[in-house]
Structure 1
Amino acid sequence: MLWALTCGLLDSVLHVVLPRHRPLGLARRRRNVPVYRPLVDLSTMEERHVILTYRLNRATVQELCAQLEPDLMSPIRQPTGIPPLVQVLSVLHFLASGSFQTTVAISSGMSQPMFSKVLSRVLSALMKYMRSYIIFPEVGDLPTVKGDFYVLGHIPNIIGAIDGTHVALVPPKDNEQVYRNRKNYHSMNVQVVCLADQYISHLNAKFPGSVHDAYVM
């Protein structure tokens, strides 16, 4: 009798103190499904605000989105529930502002891990079409290029305006010091050539910030 009461009491205590587990066959693992909440509506934004936020006007943003849409709509590559326009806008905002991924993600209605995937996909799509837009003039186009520059500054025989800029970045762990420039922040030393209409005709982004401008040129 005493033994039966003791066993019953012990069983009750164990049920209270120890967690009750599901049988292995019924155990379920909760999945974190990314949720997209639409916050961006280009059609309701003023043109001035569009340019300030994305560094492009509305027509250019829409043209860019139309070109990238096939790459961003691929079933394999498309993030869950995010329209191509929102993907493009979020990445343009990130590039234009130099902000953190988390900040841009929140303002675009997505999580940071989701935006990280979007960023990679949109940049890959942009790189795919880069050489269709960044083109140095052919020999036959040079008279027109020179004429456009002459209209601007009355200086003959100009085929491009060249300059350099440091694009800030988070350096890789390996060889971090080579990315530190003379102003003591990490960057890439980028050389850019543009035409009279401000179209970029050549871009050299191969060198880290510690490299002198003379070497880049």
Structure 2
Amino acid sequence: MDRKTKMLIYAAAAQWFINMIALVVQSRKRKRREAITYAPIDERDWMRREYFDNKIWKNDTICVNILRLGREPFFRFCQLFRDRNLLKDTIHLTVEQQVAMFLHTIGHNIRNRVIGTNFGRSGEVVSRYFKMILHAIGELRDDLIRKPSLETQTKIEGNYRWDPYFKDCIGAIDGTHVQASVTPDMEAAFCGRKTYATQNVMAAVDFDLRFTYVLAGWEGTAHDALVLRDALERENGLRVPQGNR
């Protein structure tokens, strides 16, 4: 091999080595690039606010039809989340908007895609905030579910129509069927008296219409007596004090 050929080989190797170093340096620069920061999307946010102002919060009738709550209790509900530091406003989504999407979903059994289309959000955003609000409501369980009072209600005590029959009563128990989403292999167990899959949910309320106990999860084919027995046998289940009904 002559001298000229060796020089060409050395030059090609050197060029290849320089190119590799350049690629490594460029790759490291890309990794160190500052993250993109997003500013509010003014036009889109304005359109979303218009939807809430004109379609949901326009009056109490529309608000109840869509959210199952009037405007005053709805905003008090949202303020409770703020006071307890359970939910916070984000750059594109206020607490009111988050809660409205949640209530609209459960109030009408609407699918994720429909909510995303109506409120101008992606499916991921709708799903993420649904889980956040569901957790926040769970944190209010001590406020929403009260222990039954053992005292005779003033509306019963001394009333000749109710006192002889309800003086020892602390509430009422009933069951209801709530639509459930289950896998195809479980549908037979959850399809009872309804044409669709349901859960047989048992609830107990006091005379002020406050929930004192809720048991969910039983299949739609389960008998009410079976659900009641399960509630009484659970370690932290339904407890009826002796002498009361």
Output the TM-score relative to the length of structure 1: 0.70
Could you tell me which residue of structure 2 aligns to residue 101 of structure 1? Answer: 112
Q: How has the CA–CA distance of structure 1 residues 51 and 199 changed in structure 2, closer, same or farther, with 3 Å as cutoff?
A: farther
Could you tell me which residue of structure 2 aligns to residue 40 of structure 1? Answer: 52
| In 2: Cα distance, 1:67 partner to 1:97 partner | 23
Could you tell me which residue of structure 1 aligns to residue 73 of structure 2? Answer: 60
Q: How has the CA–CA distance of structure 1 residues 152 and 190 changed in structure 2, closer, same or farther, with 3 Å as cutoff?
A: farther
Letter in 2 for 1:156: F
The C-alpha deviation readout for 1:143-197, integer Å capped at 9, x for no partner, is 127639x699775333223221111021146744433333242121111222334
Could you tell me which residue of structure 2 aligns to residue 156 of structure 1? Answer: 166
| In 2: Cα distance, 1:98 partner to 1:106 partner | 15
- Bigger relative contact order, structure 1 or 2 (CA pairs below 8 A, ≥6 apart): 1
Give secondary structure in 1 for the equivalent of 2:189: helix
| In 1: Cα distance, 2:161 partner to 2:52 partner | 38
Q: Runs of at least 4 residues of structure 1 off by over 6 A?
A: 150-154
Percent of counterpart pairs with the same letter? Answer: 22
Q: Is the 8 A contact 1:146 1:159 kept in 2?
A: no
Q: Is the 8 A contact 1:179 1:210 kept in 2?
A: yes
Q: Indicate the RMSD between aligned Cα atoms, in angstroms.
A: 3.4
Q: How has the CA–CA distance of structure 1 residues 202 and 144 changed in structure 2, closer, same or farther, with 3 Å as cutoff?
A: same
Q: Does 1:208 align with 2:223?
A: no
Match of 2:156 among 147, 150, 161: 147
| In 2: Cα distance, 1:138 partner to 1:101 partner | 40
How many pairs does the alignment contain? 185
Letter in 2 for 1:67: L
Say which is worse superposed, 173-182 or 80-89, in terms of deviation: 173-182
Q: Could you list the runs of 5+ residues in structure 1 that have no partner in the other structure?
A: 1-22
Match of 2:134 among 99, 123, 132: 123
The C-alpha deviation readout for 1:44-67, integer Å capped at 9, x for no partner, is 421122122212222221122112
Letter in 1 for 2:94: P
Q: Is the 8 A contact 1:167 1:187 kept in 2?
A: yes
Bigger radius of gyration among the two: 2
| In 2: Cα distance, 1:85 partner to 1:138 partner | 34
Could you tell me which residue of structure 1 aligns to residue 63 of structure 2? Answer: 50
| In 1: Cα distance, 2:127 partner to 2:181 partner | 15
